[in-house]
Structure 1
Amino acid sequence: MPEAVAAATAAWAVLVLLDLLLNGRWWLWLVVSLAPPPAFVVVPAALAGAALAAGGAWRDAVLWTCAACLVAGYRRCGIDLTALVRRRRPVTSAPELTVCVWNTEHWYQGGEAGPFYAALRALDADVLMLQEYHHNNFDGTWSAIDDLGRLREAFPGHHVIAANGQVTVSRLPARHVPTSAERVLRVDVEAPSGTVSLLNVHVPVQLRQISPFRAEFYREVRARARHRDREYTALAADVAALGHPALVAGDFNTSPAMGDARRIRALGDDAARWAALAYPRSWHARGPRLWRIDWALVRNGLEVHDYRFDDAAGISDHRVQRLVAGVGTRHRPNERST
């Protein structure tokens, strides 16, 4: 028994080391990075407990190895223990903008329009940033749709902007600003304190649900890894060029266990840290709430008053990100930039 625990610990340590070296750097590791983020703390904790129970000559070595694995993997587990003792960040602004960000799961495909639009109206936000404004072809591709007439009928007096597979609906004056990223919709809205840029993001998923015993599976993973890299590179350039307070939010198809989470955190301040959430979970909305693949980042003086995940009314497998924001007084320009 002690030898089995030691062998399992050694195997886990090798996996963690390879993850540190390859995650986000080698396309094939995308498959491995789909592992549940909590495993990075659950597995070494379980192995340490097993070592204490089994004893033996390897016990101390196993315990030290488990401790090292915990430290190395903690950043990827998605759990922020400091949130349990950390207060919410102070804000200098008034709450002036309520935004709901939601992956609609193929825009009521297979369902009915009435309940779907009723759910959208019930969100009651100043801005809706909606992903997957398209239909699924069930072969790894999607087809564009045109539902703008029904959208404008459901939201009279609102600004409705659709592009790149996303839709943004705003009560506030809004204009579309092109981006270099293919799956990003930027809309600048006129909030009470000035212009706020909203980047509605949908990063492509890592793989298709086909057999890993087929060569096509690996060709698809590699192609999607390249697509994701292009999207993250273009998104970083788009964000770096922003001159206004900004919100970058949507479905990134990236859990904290994936190396691409580093690229997400570089886009701005995580709204979950503003709200002191210990374990943000946006997926799965229809079953156990497992971990997070939807993110919201603020930058250039946009402050978070409230951030939480709301129910998806059984429509989507993603929960709704609800955020209340305002522009900090130190970041309000005397003249609006372009």
Structure 2
Amino acid sequence: MSGDLVRWATVAWAVFLGAHLVLNGRWWAWLLPSLLPPPLFVLVPGVLAGAAWATGDLVAAVVSGVALLLGARQAGLHPSALVRRPRRTSEDTAVKVVSWNTQHWCQAKEADPFYAFLHELDADVYLLQEYHHDVFDGTYRLIDDEARLRAEFPEHEVVIARGLVTLSRLPVAATVETVARRVLRVDLRLPDGPDRVLSTFNVHIPVQLRLVSPLRAGFYRAVRDRAGDRAREYAGLRRDIADCPNPAVIAGDFNTTPAVGDVRHITALGVDAVPLAGRIYPVSWQARAGMRWWRLDWVLSTAGAQVHSYRFRDPRGLSDHCVQEVSVSLADPDALASPTVRHDREAPHDALPLSGKHRPEGQ
């Protein structure tokens, strides 16, 4: 690579990164550039820094080095994960929770292997997303597989709403209305005491775009509209968690990578469990086979909920999302702190009834 080419490439990347840092999360159209594979935010400046050093261009090397440092956070790297160890807990009090985007609930696959895989996960609590089928026009239709769910999981209580399913071996204390439209909150009684309640938030934030031609105006209208939908969902979820008096686990498909500006809403909700996964670069979603470069799925906890372990499990071709698996227990009552999320007075109030049937869009 010639010196001039390296310098121009460095300038171009610096301009792009500067625009990304300024516009990301502030202008709806920047949702599209923010969908780049996050590793590019370290790979591109890393290659440019090496090339600039090789050609003796100290200025380009320094600029690329600065871009590399700024891009590390956008890439979602967790080097500390290599030294983080799972927390010890008693098997009598730990609850195994799995969260999984099912990719339209075995719409294009046989149901028997799908249910066999769910049984193999052997979770106390299942938080499942995309309990619907794709209509392939940007919308989805709800399905009714409740009879089989109850037959397959007779030891679990079943709660279904908004294209989401929560299954629990633990007694359901309450199913609570939420401001966020694509969230299902279910409160569970833990076995170590009648007053020990864990709130679970099953989350599916709408995706940023519709899979239609970018040459059509409708493509960009959808991006703008969904940017508004996503902002309302995050504001509603923030309020829902602030109003929750119990320790909580928030998990699901957020359709947000560390490079998307909306990640700041996620980190405000609770403590990210991913350092416990032991991966420098945790990923959960693949665009196609062999291209798992994005993390879209998250598990967070609030004060009083202790996550002891966290791992991704291969979906075995049943979904484009990995399964998230965590072990959770509650802290001693005296150790419980006040909520870590402030009440959002600007959050919307137009939540849908939990029992209501609707046609979800943009998930």
TM-score class, shorter: over 0.9
SS at match of 1:314: coil
8 Å contact from structure 1 (residues 172, 190) kept in 2? yes
Distance between the aligned counterparts of 1:28 and 1:234, measured in 2?
22
Q: Which residue of 1 aligns with 2:110?
A: 112
Distance between the aligned counterparts of 2:155 and 2:41, measured in 1?
48
Q: Which residue of 1 aligns with 2:357?
A: none
8 Å contact from structure 2 (residues 277, 312) kept in 1? no
The list of structure 1 runs, each at least 4 consecutive aligned residues, that deviate by more than 6 angstroms after superposition, is none
Q: How many residues were matched structurally?
A: 329
Equivalent position amino acid for 1:46 in 2: V
Q: Which residue of 2 aligns with 1:336?
A: none
Gaps of 5+ in 1: 334-338
The answer to whether the aligner puts 1:7 opposite 2:5 as a matched pair is no
Deviation, 1:93, is 6.8
Of stretches 150-159 and 65-74 in structure 1, the one that deviates more from structure 2 is: 65-74
The answer to whether the aligner puts 1:318 opposite 2:321 as a matched pair is yes
Percent identity, aligned pairs only, is 52
For residues 208-261 of structure 1, give each alpha carbon's deviation from its aligned partner in whole angstroms, at most 9, with x where no partner exists.
111111111111110111111110110111111111111000000111111111
Deviation, 1:91, is 5.8
Query: Aligned runs of 1:300-311 on 2, under 5 Å?
Result: 300-311=303-314
For residues 131-190 of structure 1, give each alpha carbon's deviation from its aligned partner in whole angstroms, at most 9, with x where no partner exists.
000111100000111111110000013100001110000001013111110000001111
8 Å contact from structure 2 (residues 89, 308) kept in 1? no
SS at match of 1:182: coil
Q: Which residue of 1 aligns with 2:48?
A: 47
TM-score (norm 1): 0.93
Query: Aligned runs of 1:15-94 on 2, under 5 Å?
Result: 15-55=16-56, 59-84=57-82, 86-88=83-85, 90=87
The answer to whether the aligner puts 1:176 opposite 2:175 as a matched pair is yes
The answer to whether the aligner puts 1:258 opposite 2:260 as a matched pair is yes
SS at match of 1:267: coil
8 Å contact from structure 1 (residues 48, 66) kept in 2? yes
Judging changes above 3 Å, is the alpha-carbon distance between structure 1 residues 98 and 183 closer, same or farther for their aligned structure 2 residues? same
Q: Which residue of 2 aligns with 1:124?
A: 122
Gaps of 5+ in 2: 337-363
For residues 285-332 of structure 1, give each alpha carbon's deviation from its aligned partner in whole angstroms, at most 9, with x where no partner exists.
843332211000011221111100001121100010000111122556
Of stretches 286-295 and 233-242 in structure 1, the one that deviates more from structure 2 is: 286-295
Equivalent position amino acid for 1:151 in 2: L
Deviation, 1:68, is 1.4
8 Å contact from structure 1 (residues 100, 128) kept in 2? yes
Taking only aligned residues, the RMSD between alpha carbons, in angstroms, comes to 1.6
2:201 aligned to 193, 199, 202, which one? Answer: 199
SS at match of 1:288: coil
Judging changes above 3 Å, is the alpha-carbon distance between structure 1 residues 113 and 250 closer, same or farther for their aligned structure 2 residues? same
Of stretches 89-98 and 115-124 in structure 1, the one that deviates more from structure 2 is: 89-98
Deviation, 1:92, is 7.1
SS at match of 1:106: helix
8 Å contact from structure 1 (residues 91, 328) kept in 2? no
SS at match of 1:101: strand
